[in-house]
Structure 1
Amino acid sequence: MLKDDRTPGALAALPDDALIEAVQRQTFRYFWDGADAASGLALDRRTLVEATGEDLADPRVAIGGSGFGIMAMIVAVERGWITREAALERLGRMRDALFRARRYHGTFPHFMDGASGETFPMSPKDDAGDLVETSFLMMGLLCARQYFSGDTAAERQLRADFDTLWREVEWDWFTQGGQDVLYWHWSPTHGWAMNHQIHGWNECLITYFLAAAAPRHAIAPQVYHRGYASGRDFVNGKTYYGIDMPLGSAYGGPLFFTHYSFLGLDPHGLKDRYADYWDLNTRHVRIHRAHCIANPKGFAGYGEACWGLTASDDPDGYLAHDPSNDNGTISPTAALSSLPYAPTEVMKMVRHLLTAHGTRVWKDYGFVDAFCEARNWFAETYLAIDQGPIVVMMENHRTGLLWKLFMSVPEVQAGLRRLDFSSPYLDA
C-alpha cells in the first residue's frame, strides 16, 4: 500500500529530508501492511524470502513492538501516509485485542496470540507478565491518548480505554512484596522463578519511570534510586576511543539502550542525579561509531559510513551486539534510530546502505534487520522492536512529535518531578 517503487540509487540521490521520509514511510509498512491480520497489532517478525517471494509471518504478536508501532502510526497520520479515520479503525481493533489478552496483574506477556489473546510463552518459565514489554506498550498508549484528542465519540472512547489499560498495570506488584527493586517477570504458574531483577543502565529506564509516574499502583521513588540506579553495570566511568562513558556496561552496551526509553522521553535537557541523558546517549553513539571505524577485529565493511551494533538477528541466530560482543554484524536500526544524536553521520550511513548494498538491504519493509559482510550474509527478516524506533526516532529528529506528546502527559510531568528529574518541559 505504501511501498516506494524508486530504486535504492534514486532514493540515495534525494535531499536529506525527502530521504528520511522515504525511509520512515517504507519502514512503517511493517506495522500497517505487515501487521497481525486478526488484531492489527505488530508481529514479532516477518521474513521476506527472496528466492520465492514469500512473506512469512511469525504468529506471535509482540507487545513492546506494538507499543512502538502505535507511536509509528501517529507519525503516519501526522505525515498523511494514512488517514486519521483509518488509524482510529486500526487502533480500535488493537485496543479490542489488548482487552481480550490475558493480563497478569495488569501486565501483558512478551508474546500473545492476536486472535485469542492467549499468551505465547517466550520460554518455559517466561510464560506470563513481562513488565518491561508492558512499559513499551504503555509509552505508545500514552502518546496515542495525547494525540487523538478530538471531541468525537471514537476518540473519546479510545482515550478512555487506553487510560484504563494504563491505570490497571500493577507496577508495585513487581517489587515482589515491597522490595526496593522491580522484577521483570511474574507467572501464576511459576511465580517469581525467573528472579530477574531490573537494574540499570539499559533499556529499562522507561519501565522504572512509568512505574513511578503511574496514577495507581506506583512504586516509591526509592525503588528507582535503590533498584534501577544500582548493579554492576550502572556506573561505568571508563574511556573508550577517547570518549568518557558515565553509565552502563563496557562501551555503553548495545545501542538500543539509547533508543527504547527515548522514543518518548525527550533526552534534551533531561537530567537526574545520575546523568545528563542527551550527553550520555550522544557519547554512546560516538563510541559505537568510533569502534566501527577503528574496527579492531578487521571485519569487512566497517567504517565511517557503516556502523552500529545492537540486538538483532545475525548469521548464527539472535544476539545483543556491541563493541565488546562484536561478530561483524551491522544492524541498520542501530545507526538509523540514532539520527537525533548524530544526524550527519547517520545520513552518510543511510546513503551508503542504499548505494553499496541496494536491494540486498532495502526491501518492502525498509532496511532488513542486519547484515554481515564478513560472511556475505544479509537478513531476510524484519523485527518490530527494530523497525519501530527507526520511524519514531527519525520523526523525533525532524519535529520532536513523539517527544512533545509523551512529555506533555500530565502523569509523565508528575513522574519527572517525583524522581527529581530536570527537563525543559517542566519549565514550559
Structure 2
Amino acid sequence: MMRTRPLKVALLGCGVVGSEVARIMTTHADDLAARIGAPVELAGVAVRRPDKVREGIDPALITTDATALVKRGDLDVVVEVIGGIEPARTLITTAFEHGASVVSANKALLAQDGAALHAAAEEHGKDLYYEAAVAGAIPLIRPLRESLAGDKVNRVLGIVNGTTNFILDKMDSTGAGYQEALDEATALGYAEADPTADVEGFDAAAKAAILAGIAFHTRVRLDDVHREGMTEVTAADFASAKEMGCTIKLLAICERAEDGASVTARVHPAMIPLSHPLASVRGAYNAVFVESDASGRLMFYGPGAGGSPTASAVLGDLVAIARNRINGTTGPGESAYAALPVSPMGEVVTRYHISLDVADKPGVLAQVATVFAEHGVSIDTVRQQGKDGEASLVVVTHRASDAALGGTVEALRKLDTVRGVASIMRVEGE
C-alpha cells in the first residue's frame, strides 16, 4: 500500500551530479514512488550560485544556506554531492543530528573520516550510504558490504579512475607520450583543468581506503594507502610492457596477507598481463576484480564517473534508505570488527620490472646480478641492448618485498657502471 506522506529529500550541491539526481527524481517520480512505497519530494537544494539557471528545478527550492536546510527537522534524506572535507563533514553530521539519513558521493571525506561519520550515523539511528563514492554506477560497495558479507575477501584489484585509464589506454594504443594523452583527455572533458588528484593517484587512493575498509572489516584511512602517480610512465615503459605481453594500468590494490594477520592498500602504475581481465578495460571505464574464498573471482565493470552514472548510484542509495525509513529500520553500518593492522608498503611482495642505463662494457651484468643477489631479490629474466658505449638493461624479478627491491635500487644507483635507473614498475595480476 502506498504511503501518502512524501519522503523529503534535500540536495547539497547541484553541479553535474546533483542536477542529474534532481532530474531523475522528477522524471522518474512515479517509478521511484512505486519502488519505495511512498512519494519522494525534493524539499530543498543548497548551492553556492543561486542565480544560475537550473532547468527543471523550482527556484523556490534553491538556497545558499546549507546549514539551515539540513537543520529543518522534517527531512528524511540528505544527499551530499558537494565534495571536499568541509563544510561537507559538518553538514552531514548536522543532518544526522536533525533526523535525516545521508547519501554521499564524497570519497575524500569518507576515506579520511569514515569512522567518525559512521559513528555519528549510529548514534542517531540513521543510515549512511555511499555507493557513488567509488566507481560511479558500478555496484561495488553494496556487493562487498552485503552480498559478500558471508565470504572472506582476500584481494581487491581495480581500475578506479577513468581519467588515468583513458590516458594510459591512449599511450598504449597510439604510442603517444604522457603529455599528449593528457591533453587529449582534457580536450574531451575526461581530465580536469588541474588533473593532479587523478594523475597523482589521490582520487584512487581515497577509493582504495574505502574498499579495503569494507572488504577486510578494518578501518583503513587515506593515510594508510601507499600512493604513486602515473606522470612518469613513458612510451618506453609501454614498449617494454608489450615485449612481456603486458600493458600498464594505474591500479588500486587492497590485499589480505597470506597469514591473514594484516592488510595492505596501495595505488600505483603496474604492468599486468594482456590475459588478465583488467588489461582489456579501455577508455574512461572502471573495473574492479574481487577475489574471495567462497565465490572465487568476481569482476565489476562499467562507467566510473559522469553525471548520469554517478546519479544512478546516488538514486540507488536513496531508494534503499527510503525503504528503511518506511520500515523503521536502518541498513548495515560500519563493520570494523577485524581491526587488522595495515602493513607498510615495504612488506608488500610482488614482481618488478627495472630498466637501467648502464655502460656497455664487459662485467656490467655480473655486477648488477651481484647487487640483486646481495639483497635477496631473485632475477627472472634479463634483456640487454647496447650501442656506442651505452646500454640499457631490463631486469624482471621474481617475487620480492618492496623493501628488498628498494635496497637493491639504492645500491644499483651507487655503481659506477650504472648511469641511471630509467624506470621501476611493479608487475601484478599474475
TM-score range, shorter chain: under 0.3
TM-score by length of 1: 0.24
Q: Which one has the largest radius of gyration? A: 2
Higher RCO, Cα 8 Å, sep 6+: 1
Q: If each structure's strand is expressed as a fraction of its own residues, which one has the higher value?
A: 2
